[in-house]
Amino acid sequence: MQSAENKLNKNSLLLALRRYSSAVNNMEQTVLLPSLLRDVPSDDVWDSEVAESCEDLYGNYLMLKTIRNMVESGLVPLDENKIKESPVLHQTMEPLLDTNPESLFCFHLRGLFTVMNTLTKRSQSVTGKYMEIIGVSN
Amino acid sequence: MQSAENKLNKNSLLLALRRYSSAVNNMEQTVLLPSLLRDVPSDDVWDSEVAESCEDLYGNYLMLKTIRNMVESGLVPLDENKIKESPVLHQTMEPLLDTNPESLFCFHLRGLFTVMNTLTKRSQSVTGKYMEIIGVSN
């Protein structure tokens, strides 16, 4: 018998959200001493804006859990502070208001799907790095 | 007893998607002769990009149904043609790749929520306009 998840297409947003939630839950269960992630730099190439907001793997760990809580609540954050914190996004918002709604729908749907996949890999990477630190092979 | 929908918060993305789907289904059941919408201009102020893609209410009607089908399938369209059609979105995509992922997640989640609410109102407006055309008061 196929599980419900297998029935969902790999391009499904719902599946991407579930996979992310599951990767963060796994990270949380594995990382029993999150403080070991402090001052451990991230291997991945992050741009300067990302580097400022999540300096080490501990910052990554906290950010990934915050986003997981938002994903699981299903609620859209009403305050724009997170968006305003990013100059690129703040500049981006205004011209989008006049865009064809069909294109805008595809843009945001695809954007959300892509960012969920990126963050899922990031959670798996933090989990792997923690196991390396405590000397457990993957 | 509260219905499942009432239990969902008004800021829920899932509820916004369900409301949209329901508004388009209602439009489809009401508009028995879609051809009557041909050459009827839209009342709302749409910018030039939107005006080009959905010249009349019939264009709006078709676009709203296409998006409803995407919403109900839950699948993310793989081709970027819809996004590339819009010069504003195409220019927007590249700098976003380097953005803080938490801000990017909030940006797309909020963007999808907002576009769903706009399109829900649009579907209700097409339904109302069709009823005016056939002489049935709302």
ipTM of this predicted complex?
Answer: 0.81
Please indicate if any CB of chain A lies within 8 Å of the CB of B92. yes
Judged by DSSP in three states, A15 sits in helix
Nearest to A100 among B12, B53, B75 (CB): B53
Q: pLDDT tens across B2-32, in order?
A: 555 555 577 888 899 999 999 999 999 999 9
Residue type for A29, please? Q
pLDDT tens digits for range B74-119: 888 766 666 666 666 666 666 676 678 888 898 899 999 999 999 9
DSSP characters for B94-123? HHHTTS-HHHHHHHHHHHHHHHHHHHHHHH
The alpha carbon of residue A37 is apart from the nearest alpha carbon of chain B, in Å, by 19
- Please give the average per-residue pLDDT across A30-47, as a whole number: 83
pLDDT of B128 over the 50 cut: yes
**Which residues of chain A lie closer than 8 angstroms to B99, CB-CB?**
47, 49-50, 86, 88-89
Out of A13, A53, A98, the one facing B76 most closely (by C-beta) is A13
Cβ–Cβ gap B67/A105 under 8 Å: yes
Domain definitions of chain A by residue range: 4-133
The H-assigned helical ranges of chain A are: 4-7, 13-30, 48-53, 57-73, 81-84, 87-96, 101-133
**Nearest-Cα residue of chain A relative to residue B48:** A98
Measured CA distances, A116 to A27, A67, A105, B132 (Å): 15, 10, 17, 44
* Beta-carbon separation of B78 and A107 below 8 A: no
